[in-house]
Amino acid sequence: MQYELRYQVIEPKRQTYQNVIDRLGDQPASRYLEATLDVEPRENFHYRPTWIKDRELYDERYSALRLTDPYSYTDPRQFYYTPYVTNRAALHDEFGKTLSYLDQRDLLTRLPGGWQAVLTSVVLPLRHYESGAQMTSVTGARFAYGTSLEQCCTFAAFDRIGNAQMLSRVGLAMGGGAGDVLDVAKQEWLAGEHMQPLRRLVEEIMVVDDWAEGLLAVDVLDSLIYPLIYSGLDESALLGGAGAYSLLAQHLTGWFADQRRWLDALVAAWAADSGNGEANRHGLAHIADTWSRRAREAVAGLATTIDGHLPEVGSATALALLADEQNARWATITGGAA
Amino acid sequence: MTGTLRQVGIDIQESEENRALVDAIKADNPELTIRHLPGLVKLQAAGQITINRRTVEEKLGHDWETGEFQLAIVSYAGNFSEWDDDQIIVKWEH
User: pLDDT tens across A279-308, in order?
Assistant: 999 999 999 999 999 999 999 999 999 999
- Residue B3 binned pLDDT confidence (cut-offs 50, 70, 90): low
Check if B77 contacts A (Cβ < 8 Å): no
Above 60 in pLDDT, residue B2?
A: no
**Helix or strand run (H / E) with residue B40:** strand B40-46
Q: Are the C-beta atoms of A195 and A126 separated by less than 8 Å?
A: no
Above 90 in pLDDT, residue B24?
A: yes
Q: What pLDDT does B11 receive?
A: 96
| Burial readout A216-249 (b: 16 or more C-beta within 10 A, e: otherwise) | bbbbbbbbbbbbbbbbbbbebbeebebebbbbbb
Q: What pLDDT does A47 receive?
A: 86
Cβ neighbours of B62 in A, within 8 Å: 77-78, 83, 87
Q: Crossing angle for the helix pair A243-272 and A147-174, nearest 10 degrees?
A: 170
For residue B44, list its beta bridge partners.
B9, B33
Q: What pLDDT does A338 receive?
A: 55
- Residue A5 binned pLDDT confidence (cut-offs 50, 70, 90): confident
Above 80 in pLDDT, residue B4?
A: no
Report the 10 Å Cβ neighbour count for A157: 20
Q: What pLDDT does A255 receive?
A: 97
- Residue A337 binned pLDDT confidence (cut-offs 50, 70, 90): low
- pTM for this one? 0.90
As a whole number, mean pLDDT of residues A38-64 equals 92
Indicate yes or no: CB of A9 within 8 angstroms of CB of B61. no
- pLDDT tens string A161-184: 999 999 999 999 999 889 999 999
- Å between A76 CA and nearest CA of chain B: 5
- Residue A10 binned pLDDT confidence (cut-offs 50, 70, 90): confident
As a whole number, mean pLDDT of residues A259-276 equals 95
Q: Report the alpha-carbon distance of residue B46 to residue B9 in Å, rounded.
A: 9
Query: What is the interface size between A and B, counted as CB pairs within 8 Å?
Result: 21
As a whole number, mean pLDDT of residues A80-84 equals 94
- pLDDT tens string A103-125: 999 999 999 999 999 999 999 99
Above 90 in pLDDT, residue B57?
A: yes
Q: DSSP secondary-structure letter at B39?
A: T
Average pLDDT of every residue of chain A: 94
Q: What pLDDT does A132 receive?
A: 97
* Phi and psi at residue A76, to the nearest 5°: -60, -25
Indicate yes or no: CB of B62 within 8 angstroms of CB of A77. yes
